[in-house]
């Protein structure tokens, strides 16, 4: 065999091209470029700006890097998914609980690694562990858009996608505030928004805001005036 440096460089790489190397057992093998690509995309070795998980249909305990429907099953359209059970240990054996917790309340896209046209886009409502020691969470999802169905043993990328989401806001105008008397504002934004109050002259007035829940708050001022409240 000639020295490797004497071979010409192939600048047109094909998926079926082969690379020579050794496997974990020390045996000399050919490795196809497409197989190496698949390994990198599905093993969690590469950072794909999200978490890669494999879909399983059996209603059995999840192992790391797997997800399923709550009662198992296959062939469900992305549009019909409202809940999933998802491993919080990635294929690379990394705990991804905090990543998923960060995405809650935002947009979540689940797309097939080897066919990006098969995907579901959701508003990520919640990720709940029945017990803190569990290595999986139950996702609650609200469908926004997508195409196709989940397929057995295929790999999917879970990543943040707020591309079609717009921030929700609320305004209530011409409120007569009385000094020391709280006014209840029902905004129904399902979040704890920032609150701004503007009086009739256009000045910013700071009041005492107390959120009673994620849809209501009370606001109290030291002086009486007429103004408008904006929640965002």
Q: pLDDT value at position 31?
A: 85
Question: Could you tell me which of 227, 190, 188, 185 has the C-alpha nearest to residue 210?
Answer: 185
Interatomic CA distance for residues 64 and 96, integer angstroms: 11
Contacts of residue 52, defined as CB under 8 A and 6 or more positions apart, other chains included, come to 41, 42, 43, 44, 65, 90, 91, 113, 155, 156, 157, 158
pLDDT for 193: 87
- For 113-151, how does the pLDDT look when each residue is reduced to its tens digit (9 = 90+)? 999 999 999 999 999 998 988 999 999 999 999 999 999
Segment holding 18, helix H or strand E: strand 18-22
Question: CB–CB of 84/55 below 8 Å?
Answer: no
- Average pLDDT of the chain, as a whole number: 90
Is the separation of the CB atoms in 161 and 198 below 8 Å?
Answer: no
Q: CA-CA distance, 120 to 140, in Å (whole number)?
A: 13
pLDDT digits (tens, 9 = 90+) for 70-82: 999 988 999 999 9
Cα-Cα end-to-end distance for the chain: 70
At 19-74, the pLDDT tens digits run 888 998 989 898 886 887 667 667 666 655 899 999 999 999 999 999 999 999 98
**Helix (H, G, I), strand (E, B), or coil: what is residue 132?**
coil
Distance CA 15, CA 35 (A): 8
With vertex at residue 165, the alpha carbon angle to CA 162 and CA 169, rounded to the nearest 5 degrees, is 130
């Amino acid at each position: 065999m000639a020295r490797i440096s004497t071979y010409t460089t192939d600048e047109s790489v094909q998926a079926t091209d082969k690379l020579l190397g050794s496997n974990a057992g020390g045996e000399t093998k050919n490795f196809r470029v497409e197989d190496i690509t698949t390994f990198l995309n599905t093993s969690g070795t590469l950072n794909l700006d999200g978490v890669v998980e494999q879909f399983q249909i059996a209603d059995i305990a999840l192992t790391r890097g797997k997800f399923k429907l709550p009662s198992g099953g296959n062939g469900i359209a992305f549009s019909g998914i409202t809940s999933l059970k998802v491993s919080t240990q990635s294929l690379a054996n990394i705990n991804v609980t905090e990543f998923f917790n960060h995405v809650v309340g935002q947009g979540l896209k689940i797309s097939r690694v080897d066919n990006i046209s098969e995907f579901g886009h959701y508003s990520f409502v919640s990720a709940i562990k029945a017990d803190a020691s569990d290595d999986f969470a139950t996702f609650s999802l609200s469908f926004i858009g997508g195409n196709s169905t989940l397929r057995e043993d295929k790999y999917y990328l879970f990543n943040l996608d707020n591309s079609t989401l717009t921030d929700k806001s609320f305004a209530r105008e011409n409120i007569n505030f009385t000094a020391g008397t709280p006014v209840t504002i029902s905004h129904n934004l399902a979040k704890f928004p920032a609150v701004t109050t503007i009086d009739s002259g256009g000045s910013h007035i700071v009041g005492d805001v107390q959120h009673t829940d994620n849809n209501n708050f009370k606001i109290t001022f030291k002086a009486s005036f007429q103004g408008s409240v904006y929640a965002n």
